[in-house]
Every structure is written in structure tokens, then in C-alpha cells.
Structure 1
């Protein structure tokens, strides 16, 4: 019998969302080769651009990471809508870099945490992973709808 602990499962989920293609493509693969101009385009099937979705992901991953580490977040948001609105002075490249750095910090923090701390925080860790996976799917869907997805980037899972 194989025994899997919560820490391993959650860490694997973070890796799948960030940089390891598994049953779905990772965030790195979903954003690969996307220019700032392309990230700002709107699809007729989406309320948000990819740029806005990445801003939203950056906001919530940073917020939840700070909470996981017990850091004050001093976040005042009037609603979820504002988390999609990128700061005008933040470039696409900087936004992606910041999100990837946060994902790397997440991965490192989980690796360094003990099993009890992970179990104590398992619910919020699972939800941030689900949130990331949902929006990664949106990004790929938008890219496909705009004709900006190379099918060879996808993952072909054969059962």
C-alpha cells in the first residue's frame, strides 16, 4: 500500500499549477510565448483578458502566501472585480515575473513546512490550487478562442 501525505499531495498540486504539465498544462506552459499585446486582447467568450486574469492570480497568490506565512497583508479590496484590474505602470513581463516568483516562494515554503502545518492549512492550500487550475483553464481557452494556442503545447492524456 502506498502512503501519501498531505504535504506531498499539495506540493504536487502546486507544481502542476505552476511549472509541471500533468493532466492539464501548467501556468508556465499556458503563458509561454504570449506577448503583452496578445495578453491584452479580449475574446468574445471571456469577460477578462489574459492580462487581467494573470493580475488576479498574482493578487490572490501573494495574498494567500502572506497569510500562509503569517504576514500582515493590510489588503483593502472593495470587491473581487478590482483584483483583475492591473496597475497601469506594471508591464506584462513584470507581472508574469512577479507571479512566477510568488509561485516559486509557495513551492519553497511548502517544501520547508512540516506535515502538521500543511494539514492545518490544507483547506486554504487546496482552494488556492483549485483557483489557479480554474484560471489556467480560462487562459488556455481564451488563447484557443483567439487562435493563439499551439496544440503541441497541450497535454494529450491517453488512458
Structure 2
């Protein structure tokens, strides 16, 4: 079943790869997804573009509901990408008691720029780790890596929704 999922996914994007004249492999599929959810504009706006140019005040804005701020969404992305990266590299991840709400931590005026940089750094590290991995490792990790990319895209969409709702988004920075 796992390999059927890979085959279906590969066939769906195989046309795009054929247009680019690139061989399709599990590594290329995973890297494409990780990069397009990080810093390559393709079908949707990547995370780095979604948070670029925001002030700390904007990033910390929250409505009066239980929704998260952009800063909280960003720290949540950092947390889960660091967890996956550590495990992928065979390292012990940061302690986690299972309360996902705690992964949506806040930032301050002074820590927001470091938070932006930290997200870029961890996403780059995951891409580099996947690039260096052999096919057997990727076969055992493809589902987790695929899901973290989807997770990143989901929360990036939430960030863009907030920016658009507040008038903080320039449509020229989007995909065309």
C-alpha cells in the first residue's frame, strides 16, 4: 500500500517533472515538496515568503478567539520540524509531553527576527538531510517527510489568511 501511494503521487507530479526534464525519484519528490513549502514559489506561497517583512507586533497579533497568532504558528512549525529532523538524523529530539498546545509558544519584539531565521534554518537542514540520505532511509521515512511538508503548507496557509485578513499581504508576492 505504501508503494502504491508513492506511485500514485509520483504519477501526479510526474508530468511536471517531465516538463522540467528531470528524473523522478522518491528523493526528488520529497525535496520538491520540502522546498516548495519552504522557499520556492510554485503552486502556493512558501513559508519564508509568508512570514517575510512582518513586524513582531504583526506576528504577535491574535483575534479574540482561540486562533493562533502568526508567531505561534511559526514556533509550532519550528517545533515539529526540529522534532522530525532530530529523529531523522538519529538524535534524541527535545522533550515533549504530548501537549500540542504547548508547541504554539509566543515570541517577543526582540525574539521575532530570530524566530524567522530559526524556521528558515530548520527547513534548510531538513532539505539537506534528505539530500544526503540514501534511498533505503527515504523509503522508511517518506510518510513522515511527506506529512511534515503537508503540515508546513497547511500552517503557511493559515499565516497567509491572517495577513490577507489584516491587509498585511501584498498580492505581488504571491504565486501567479
Normalising by structure 1, we get a TM-score of 0.91
Per-residue CA deviations over 1:45-85 (Å, capped at 9, x if unaligned) read 77000000001000000011001111012413241111002
Q: Which has the larger radius of gyration?
A: 2
Residue matched to 1:106: 126
2:142 is aligned with 1:154 = no
Mapped partners of 1:46, 1:23: distance in 2 = 29
- Deviation per CA, 1:13-36, whole angstroms, max 9, x where unpaired? 010011101100111111111111
Aligned mates of 1:47, 1:94 — CA distance in 2? 23
Q: Show the counterpart of 1:144.
A: 164
Equivalent position SS for 2:37: helix
Q: Which consecutive residues of structure 1, in runs of 5 or more, have no partner in the other structure?
A: none
Structure 2: runs of 5+ lacking an equivalent: 1-13
Asked if structure 2 preserves the Cα contact closer than 8 Å seen for 1:140 and 1:149, the reply is yes
The number of residue pairs the alignment matches comes to 156
Q: What secondary structure does 1:23 align onto? A: coil
Q: CA RMSD in A?
A: 2.0
With the length of structure 2 as denominator, give the TM-score of the two structures: 0.82
| CA pair 136-105 structure 1, distance change in 2 beyond 3 A | same
Matching residue within 45, 54, 76 for 1:25:
45
Q: Which residue of 1 aligns with 2:112?
A: 92
SS for the counterpart of 1:123 is helix
| C-alpha distance in 1 between matches for 2:128 and 2:142 | 16
Greater length-normalized contact order (CA 8 Å, ≥ 6 residues apart): 1
